[in-house]
Amino acid sequence: MTTAETLLWLARIWLIVGGVTAAAFLTIGIDRIDEDAQGTYAFRPLLLPGILLLWPLVLWRWYVLETGRDDPDARFKPVRTAHGAMAVTLCIVILGTVLFALSSRQNWPAEFEPVQLSAPDQTPSGEVSE
Amino acid sequence: MKPPVKKDTTPFFVGYFKVPKKLRSFLLIAGVAVVAFMTAFGLVSGASQDDPGDGAFRFDYGRQTVTGVIELLPYPLLHVTEGNDRIKPGHTLMLTAQGKSGVFSRAEPLEGQKVTASGIILERGALNMLQVRGGARGLGPAEGSGAPPVSEPLGRWKLAGEICDGKCLAGAMRPGRGIAHKACANLCLLGDIPPVFVSTKPVDGSEFLMILGKDGGPLPAIAYDYVAQFISLEGDVSRHGDLLVLRMDPATIEVMK
Amino acid sequence: MSVKYIPVQWNKNKWWYDGFMLAGVVGFLWVFLYVTPEILSHERPINPQIHNARAFGACAFFMMTIILCIGPLARLDKRFLPLLYNRRHFGVMTAAVALTHFSYVLNWYFAFSGTNKYEALLFSNTSYGQLVGFPFEAFGIFALLCLLILAATSHDFWLKFLTAPVWKRIHYLIYFAYAAVVAHVSLGVLQDQQNHLFTVVFVASAFTVAGLHLLAFLHERKAGDPDAVPDTDGWVQVCHAKDIPEARAKIAVLPSGDRVAVFRLEDKLSAVSNACAHQNGPLGEGKVIRCLITCPWHGFQYDIRSGRSPAPFTEKIPTYNLAVRDGVVLVNPKANPPGTYVEPVEV
């Protein structure tokens, strides 16, 4: 199998497992772990793409909530500290990428004159005529 | 006496309430600015696109049917012996199938034979290519016999320019060359579409050269990394009919600054 | 904030918001698709599929640019906060526009060959070892995946299910996506473009996003929430009671790194967690409206005394015990469980 085939095969497996997870979660799981979802169905198809893409996370949260391992305090710890680092990194990456890319940009070498290095009779291997 | 309580009169927006009066004009301006910026960006981005060149499928010429002799290089060439108003005898055509496929497997059994080829011409300046129809109606044996013209060696050259896939370059896509088109060009070349080297200046009258490996085989794998880049390289040039062919020496490839 | 989930929440302001954003997108695409072909005096037109792909790709880039400007603008100037309110709808629109770009590219450049077009996308160019001619499509695929993940998790269910901190961490992907898009364009079309107008606008947009984030970061460092000062018995000093405006709050960073917001309502003070239960918005930058602390981001509300959302809503936030000594507000940094009633303290 080529790398591309392997990657697509993995993607398919990922989505199939996601589909099975979605079927189980949207019919059974969601009612058990979120009372706001009980008896309401119209919004559930909207969750499908998210479960297909992030099913390991869904299974993990389902397990945590189902087994009562959820830390209620964790909800109130905003991720604010990462913001500064992210802002600075973003600046460096954007600046670096743009400068790097523009400096490596090529211009059509319009002035280049083709050079004959050797005449036909001096061609080492000789021309093969079909 | 109690100190006076501080007041904070900053307008406070709550999504499901009416927008505070003080904020209304600000938000209206912000909304209009978004629409104006997007429309202006659309204009700038759209109107600054480069000219993709004059290459095109010449459907307006109608279907072209010509007779000639097949030469395999290994990319098949058709040396026209009996042409028509548009394609004159003595012209050498590169061939392609529909989509991103060459016609090697169809042309192989016909090597050195007289064939009739029928299809649509792709044309970009002096460069052209025939996209043959499917089956034997597109490329099939013809009565009589012939031989490809004897090739004429032109010596070893150093050229600068760009390796392209001949079909997109000739007008299957507009634009059909350049870095943004590189993956597409590679895909065409993997599908046996004839590769073409666009030289900065004409060599013996032509700026388009079909490009082969050093041994005369198909484009070597290493060349794919350089497709769409501006490079210089050396190789043996020869004339097959009225088409120039460059047998490149991959060891001499240099990326231009 | 609904008790039972519904597919999409709309209200009058959201209609206005979506209307403006949609008008922007339609304006961009309409001008690009239908006006500029008339302006371009090319002998032969760019292929419609390529023209469309460029239109949707460029549109998605500028939409991401606007989205990423909203956050820092709202931190620098509170009047921009309403633009944050419904940003998720604009994000979903962006993902849709980016997906359309992808589909035009896939069905043009990677179609018409004997191989599967998704495979062709992955194997056609593998020159990963070089800058010019780098398979910039890979950056695009990565950015698109990020946008799809963000759009797919934009429903409020995900916030409650994953918790706001986890959700926010996932949504940090937007930064990676934007950086990837900058690389996608820089190593792609910018390498070819001979007319440099687009390059200038593109670079200016990317630098605006970077610059605004840097400004907001510096602003936060200068004017951010102060640290609470340790006092006796493990309590901490937050601020002077007189500095808290009516119906508003002062925020302080506790030794644990959590933030407390002390609100004043008619000469009485209450302390709650600064993090909204919904999306961890800064409640202390909110306002008390009819005894309810109201979040500046999406208007979630909590009773100032108990940290509980009014019925029928069920959200709860932690409260803090507090005292006033010589006009200084003291807080016990150990939070009460969410929804714990604390009697407001007289100034």
Contact B86, B117 (CB under 8 A): no
Instruction: Mark which residues 194-253 of C lie under 8 Å from A by CB.
Output: 199, 203, 206-207, 209-211, 213-214, 216-217, 220-221
For residue C1, pLDDT over 50 is answered with: no
**Who among C4, C172, C220 is closest to A40 (CB)?**
C4
Of C223, C246, C269, the residue at which a domain comes to its end is C223
Mind listing the pLDDT tens digit for each residue in A51-62? 999 999 999 999
Q: Are residues C211 and C80 in the same domain?
A: yes
CB atoms within 10 A of CB C38: 8
- Say yes or no: C195 and C233 in one domain: no
**With pLDDT > 90 as the criterion, what percentage of chain B qualifies?**
95
Residue C248 is predicted with a pLDDT of: 96
pLDDT tens per residue, range C85-121: 999 999 999 999 999 999 999 999 999 999 999 999 9
Which DSSP string corresponds to A27-92?
A: IIIHHHH-GGGTT--TTHHHHHHHHHHHHHHHHHHHHHHHTT---GGGGG----HHHHHHHHHHHH
| Statement to judge: residues C308 and C173 lie in one domain | no
Please report the pLDDT score of residue B2 as a whole number: 62
* Residue A71 at interface with chain B, using a CB cutoff of 8 Å: no
Higher pLDDT, A127 or B119: B119
Q: Do C195 and B50 touch (CB under 8 A)?
A: yes
| Pairing mode of beta strands B127-132, B92-96 | parallel
Rounded Cα gap, residues C298 and C285, in angstroms: 12
Q: How far is CA A80 from CA C64, C258, C259, C297, in A?
A: 21, 10, 11, 15
Q: What is the strand order of the sheet C301-303 is part of?
A: C287-289, C292-294, C301-303
Is residue C169 located within the same domain as residue C239?
A: no
Nearest to B19 among C13, C66, C108 (CB): C13
Tell me what pLDDT residue B1 has: 55
C162 located within any domain: yes
**Structurally, how many domains does chain C consist of?**
2
Look at residues C223, C258, C284 and tell me which one is the last residue of a structural domain: C223
On the question of pLDDT at C179 being above 60, the answer is yes
Q: From CA B237, how far away is CA B244, in angstroms rounded? A: 7
Contact between residue C118 and residue A91 where contact means Cβ atoms under 8 Å apart: no
Cβ-Cβ contacts under 8 Å, A115 against chain B? 157-159
Note whether C279 and C323 are same-domain residues: yes
Q: Which residue of C has its CA nearest to B58?
A: C44
Q: Is the pLDDT of residue A92 over 50?
A: yes
Question: Residue C320: which domain range?
Answer: 229-346
At residue A72, the pLDDT reads: 84
In the numeric block, which tokens belong to residue A68?
A: 């009562």
Contact C254, C223 (CB under 8 A): no
pLDDT tens column, C123-159: 999 999 999 999 999 999 999 999 999 999 999 999 9
Nearest CA in chain C to B102: C113
Same domain, C292 and C213: no
Shared domain for C185 and C271, answered yes or no, is no
A64-79 pLDDT, tens digit per residue, is: 999 999 988 888 998 8
- Residue C30: pLDDT over 60: yes
Across chain B, mean pLDDT equals 95
Which residues does chain A have within 8 Å of residue C318's beta carbon, measured at their own beta carbons?
73, 76
Residue C2 has pLDDT above 70, yes or no: no
Contact B238, B154 (CB under 8 A): yes
Same domain? For C36 and C139 the reply is yes
Residue C2 lies in a domain: no
Is the pLDDT score of B92 beyond 90?
A: yes
B98 to chain C: which residues are within 8 Å by CB?
112
Q: Which of C115, C125, C184, C186 would best serve as a mutation to test chain A binding (most A beta carbons within 10 A)?
A: C186
My answer on whether C136 and C64 are in the same domain is: yes
List the single best residue of B78, B156, B163, B226 to mutate versus A (max A Cβ within 10 A).
B156
Nearest CA in chain A to B151: A129
Q: What percent of chain C has pLDDT over 70?
A: 99
Q: What is the mean pLDDT of chain C?
A: 95
| Domains of chain B listed by start with CATH number | 56-141 (2.40.50), 152-255 (no CATH)
From A109's Cα to the closest Cα of chain B, the distance in A is 7
Please report whether residue C314 resides in a domain.
yes
Per-residue model confidence (pLDDT) at position B3: 66
C188 touches chain B (CB under 8 A): yes
Residues C309, C177: one domain?
Answer: no
Smallest Cβ distance to A123: which of B236, B256, B257? B236
Q: Given A4, A90, A95, which is nearest C122 (Cβ)?
A: A4
Q: Which two tokens stand for residue C231?
A: 């006092």
The amino acid occupying position A68 is: G
Query: How many Å is the maximal CA-CA distance in chain C?
Result: 82
Q: Residues of A with CB below 8 A from B230's CB?
A: 106-109
ipTM of model: 0.95
Q: Point out the domain boundary residue: C171, C200, C223.
A: C223
Q: Does C289 touch chain A (CB under 8 A)?
A: no
A9: closest chain C residue by CA? C119
Q: Is the pLDDT of residue A127 over 80?
A: no
